[in-house]
């Protein structure tokens, strides 16, 4: 076995001496260490080695692999450094003092609102977490109490990957990871991009943003939910706001609510923004279902929690008075730069 490894090592050294491109080096790595690589094939022969020799032969193989891997890695580093050096030497000289002639960019209005909301929640002791855009079916559905064949899955049809994962349909998909990451008391918000197989119209996009919040502690109640939401909205709209709860349904909260805010533009008197109803439907929320807590390893006998899932595009539309969500993804700079001032 040692002879065979030495042969491969000498072959690698000889080949590397003639290699000057990173791609060739990569190809050699695959040829030796890839799935059907020369060295990998030797590992496959280990199963035929008598049991009493397996340990020793395994050691020889592993040592050989580390040595060959290091030889290739060194060459890779050498080539990468040479490529950088080459770029530095050959790069045209840029005079950074010259005017660019291009306009400066600005933050997207949705990013501005997201940052404002994050600031308010962090000032109240929340951590800001990130979520995956590609999620497991378990996290997106099952962990939040939407098992296979549950009708609630139909309301959130999404884009499925060949490996069975999904483009997440809601930020609730991150609940399981985040509740597992921390131990109660937990206060976290997690903004993120979501995807649904939707017919696009003025208020629905197939790609949109939500900002989710969870609070888990001893004796959390709906009162906590109302308090934090009112605080946040009052800071964003820069005035005291009134909210109301209507019954709602989500498999992952019990009870579930739809939270409305009294229209901050007309103080509830009626205007085009609230379609003369005086209230604006803002955000679904509720008390976290005991099974969702259990799925994250939290004992619902000891702790309770509440959660909300704010539509960030909706908040952005409210704060900018835009009436078509499609503008937010349009790249229409004339329109967007009116708001993206920071």
Q: Which residues bind ligand FA5 (CB under 6 A)?
A: 170, 172, 196, 198, 204-205, 208, 210, 212, 250, 253, 283-286, 307-309, 311, 313-314, 325
| Residue whose CB is less far from ligand FA5, 42 or 194 | 194
Q: Are the C-beta atoms of residues 250 and 151 closer than 8 Å to each other?
A: no
Of 10, 29, 7, the C-alpha closest to 74 is 29
CB-wise, 131 or 309, nearer to ligand FA5?
309
Rank residues 177 and 314 by Cβ distance to ligand FA5 and give the closer one.
314
Rounded to the nearest whole angstrom, what is the least distance from the CB of residue 325 to ligand FA5 in the complex? 6
Smallest distance from ligand FA5 to CB 47, Å:
49
Q: Which is nearer to ligand FA5, 253 or 320 (CB)?
A: 253
Strand segments, DSSP code E, in the chain are 127-128, 134-135, 166-167, 186-195, 207-217, 243-250, 253-262, 279-288, 304-311
| Length in residues, the chain | 342
Cβ-based nearer residue to ligand FA5, 72 or 174: 174
The residue of the chain with the least Cβ separation from ligand FA5 equals: 311
- Beta carbon of residue 228, minimum distance to ligand FA5 (angstroms, whole number): 13
Cα(49)–Cα(25) distance, rounded to whole angstroms?
Answer: 32
Q: How many CB atoms lie within 10 A of CB 147?
A: 10
Contact of 235 with 225, CB cutoff 8 Å:
no
Tell me how far, at minimum, the Cβ of 311 lies from ligand FA5, in Å.
2
Residue 308 or 339 having the CB closest to ligand FA5: 308
CB of 68 closer than 8 Å to CB of 12: yes
- For residue 243, the minimal CB distance to ligand FA5 (Å) is 14
Query: Smallest gap, in angstroms, from Cβ of residue 256 to ligand FA5?
Result: 6
Alpha-carbon span 192 to 312, nearest angstrom: 9
């Amino acid at each position: 076995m040692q002879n065979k490894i030495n042969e491969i090592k000498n072959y690698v050294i000889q080949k590397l001496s003639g290699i000057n491109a990173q791609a060739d080096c990569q190809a050699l790595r695959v040829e030796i260490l890839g799935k059907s690589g020369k060295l990998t094939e030797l590992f496959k022969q280990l199963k035929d080695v008598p049991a009493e020799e397996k340990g020793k032969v395994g050691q020889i193989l592993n040592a050989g692999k580390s040595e060959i891997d290091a030889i290739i890695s060194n060459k890779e580093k050498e080539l990468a450094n040479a490529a950088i050096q080459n770029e530095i030497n050959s790069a045209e000289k840029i005079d950074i003092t010259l005017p660019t002639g291009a306009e400066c960019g600005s933050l997207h209005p949705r990013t501005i609102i997201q940052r404002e909301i994050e600031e308010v929640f962090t000032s109240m002791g929340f951590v800001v977490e990130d979520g995956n855009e590609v999620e497991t079916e378990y996290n997106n559905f099952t962990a939040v109490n939407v098992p296979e064949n549950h009708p609630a899955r139909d309301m959130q049809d999404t884009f499925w990957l060949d490996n069975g994962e999904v483009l997440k349909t809601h930020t609730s998909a991150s609940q399981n990871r985040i509740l597992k990451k921390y131990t109660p008391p937990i206060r976290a918000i997690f903004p993120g991009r979501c995807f649904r197989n939707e017919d696009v119209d003025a208020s629905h996009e197939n790609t949109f943003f939500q900002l989710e919040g969870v609070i888990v502690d001893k004796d959390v109640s709906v009162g906590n939910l109302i308090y934090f939401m009112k605080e946040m909205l009052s800071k964003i709209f820069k005035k005291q706001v009134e909210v109301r709860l209507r019954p709602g349904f989500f498999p992952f909260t019990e009870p579930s609510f739809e939270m409305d805010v009294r229209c901050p533009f007309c103080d509830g008197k009626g205007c085009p923004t609230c379609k003369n109803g005086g209230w604006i439907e803002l955000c679904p929320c509720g008390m976290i279902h005991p099974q969702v807590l259990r799925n994250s390893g939290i004992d619902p006998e000891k702790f309770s929690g509440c959660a909300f899932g704010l539509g960030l595009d909706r908040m952005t539309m409210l704060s900018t008075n835009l009436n078509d969500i499609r503008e937010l993804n349009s790249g229409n700079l004339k329109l967007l730069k009116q708001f993206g001032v920071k």
